[in-house]
Amino acid sequence: TVLVLDFGSQTSHLILRRLRSLNVYAEMLPCTTKLANLTWTPVGIVLSGGPSSVYDEGAPHVDPAIFDLGVPILGICYGCQELAWRINDKNVTRGEAREYGETDLTIHKVGGSNHVDRLFEGLGDSIHVFMSHFDKLVRLPEGFVRIASTKNTEFAGIAHQTKPIFGIQLHPEIYHTYRGTEILDNFSTKICKARQSWKMENFIEKEIIRIRKLVGDKAQVIGAVSGGVDSTVAARLMKEAIGDRFHAILVDTGLMRLNECQQVKETLQQHLSINLTIVDAAELFLSRLAGVVEPEAKRKIIGETFIDLFEKEAIRIEEEAKNTPLSGKVEWFLQGTLYPDLIESLSWKGPSATIKSHHNVGGLPARMMNGQGLKLIEPLRELFKDEVREFGRQLGIHQDLVMRHPFPGPGIAIRVLGEVTPERVEIVRKADHIFISMIKEAGIYDQMSQAYAALDTNRVIKANLTVLGMIILLRAVTSADFMSAEPFEFPFDLLKAIVRRIVNEVDGVSRVAYDCTSKPPGTIELE
């Protein structure tokens, strides 16, 4: 395993992805991790980039023990400055202007069989790279030689003369450093001699063994499923590991899309043989939401209702299991947390209090953990979304589900602006069904990351009618990680055809608008 120490750059996780694309297994931990706390020894260490300056008060610094391990080290951007600064703080200067963008890197070969040439081996004399930095090295740290430079950065690449320690100012993990993966390949497989054994099948086997060990042969596990790819894959894996001691719970909130509950039931119960309970709570959710218009209040009510129902289910499952072969206590709560969610909360700055906070349906695990003493089990915590999809395919989950767009826990409630009534939910459900069906028929569903219909609070006039009708808002975005997003560019004829059908077929709707806002400044959902 290669250890990536994260100094908080937005592209740190891409280092992991590039390494995994080389089948090299890597894990990322906060840059302040104490090596003494690690239970494993890395074959090499990468120090990522980061937004700070090594001179800042409170700037993050790495545990000096990494230099005593004797394993190869690669510092990227801030990581490179950190290496140089550790040796002598005069080696780095605070930048005055930011160097940002693409440039050409000249590679300086030392020649002979010197190890310092190995980082850029096979890359020729010059490559195109992406740079983004304020500070830079102004002199070579003691014991180092220069291995690369650019027009503006004299020491864009450095290597220790005798030890396998390298620093580069460029970002090999970013797409625009077109040959960046080769640099990471040289570092991980040639210099660190990391094994290229990271494969999905190995991961599945390893995870099943881990789950069995963790849960033991008596305890029971419960988990919420939504029909989305993460919870379905996590549930399928639990089924594989502990059979019917895993209980999947699907809450019908009355806020799901057309036929959604039925489809989830068929997939999980019939195709994947998962032990599933459906809790019909549509009336409960809608009655608790009556008259509520504040987005945060809606989320809170929904989150708490979910928890109330889960608490009841956990007790029921334990009661029912008494005197059966499944008589163990319900000790674990399954969550489909992915790596990007963890990265956010692992960052040295602490959890960023932004988007992810609402991802757990209003603090679901926290109260479950405290109230019931349940422990959290997160089998997907090392994976990225595309890896979960691949994983899902290997577990025999249908392609349609594997590629399904995300759907938020609070469901249509956060897509009905203003009050959530059964009638208004129904209008969104119908419009959404037309929108998504037409996107699928046009064969472009997989080209976008998420699409949905929502309902505005205002009413407007429709030709020939005196009553005011409602306004449907359509949103479709492309996004790499849901942290930022761009509006999907529909063929205009298709968009007009979608609008025509919605206005004609959904009673009470008089206008349809397509939202072209990017994120940021917008968000993907409207509330």
Binding site for ligand XMP (CB under 6 A): 299, 355, 358-359, 361, 406, 408-410, 450, 482, 519, 523-525
Is the distance from CB of 118 to CB of 96 less than 8 angstroms?
A: no
Q: How far is the CB of 477 from ligand XMP (least distance, A)?
A: 9
Peptide bond before 30: cis, by omega within 30 degrees of 0? no
Q: What letter represents residue 277's amino acid? A: T
232 is in an annotated binding site: yes
| 457 annotated ligand-binding residue | no
421 is in an annotated binding site: no
How many CA atoms does the CB half-sphere of 464 hold within 13 Å? Answer: 0
Structure tokens, 133:
């930095």
Tokens standing for residue 252: 């019908």
Measure the CA–CA gap between 467 and 469, rounded to whole angstroms.
6
From the CB of 525, what's the least distance to ligand XMP, in Å? 3
Does 516 participate in catalysis according to the annotation?
no
List the catalytic residue out of 13, 133, 160, 171. 171
Q: How far apart are CA 468 and CA 465, in angstroms?
A: 8
- Give the nearest distance from C-beta 355 to ligand XMP in angstroms: 4
Closest to ligand XMP by CB, 51 or 406? 406
Supply the minimum distance, in Å, between the C-beta of residue 401 and ligand XMP: 16
CB of 524 to ligand XMP, least distance (A): 3
- 133 is a catalytic site residue: no
The 3-state DSSP class for residue 470 equals strand
The two three-digit tokens of residue 179, written as one number: 């040959």
Please state, in angstroms and rounded to a whole number, the distance separating the CA atoms of residues 347 and 31.
Answer: 8
**How many alpha carbons lie under 13 Å from residue 379 in its C-beta half-sphere?**
34
Give the whole-angstrom CA distance, residue 266 versus residue 33. 45
User: Which CB, 74 or 229, lies closer to ligand XMP?
Assistant: 229
Tell me: is residue 226 an annotated ligand-binding position: yes
Provide, rounded to whole angstroms, the least separation between the CB of residue 402 and ligand XMP. 16
Contact present, 83 and 166 (Cβ < 8 Å): no
Residue 83 CA to residue 465 CA, distance in Å, equals 72
Q: Is 80 a catalytic residue?
A: no
Nearest by Cα to 212 from 179, 245, 182: 245
Nearest to 132 by CA among 13, 27, 48: 48
8 is in an annotated binding site: no
Q: Which is nearer to ligand XMP, 268 or 448 (CB)?
A: 448
Task: Say which residues have a Cβ less than 8 Å from residue 346's Cβ, sequence separation at least 6.
Answer: 6, 28, 29, 30
DSSP 3-state of 519: strand
DSSP state of 405: P
In sequence order, what are the beta bridge partners of 332? Answer: 221, 375
Tell me if 227 is assigned to a ligand binding site. yes
Q: Which of 475, 388, 311, 510 is nearest to 20 (CA)?
A: 388
Judge whether 63 is annotated as a binding position: no
Please say which residue, 164 or 411, places its beta carbon nearer to ligand XMP.
411
Query: Least CB distance from residue 526 to ligand XMP, whole Å?
Result: 8
Residues catalogued as catalytic = 77, 171, 173
Q: Residues forming the annotated binding site for ATP?
A: 226-232
Q: Residues forming the annotated binding site?
A: 226-232
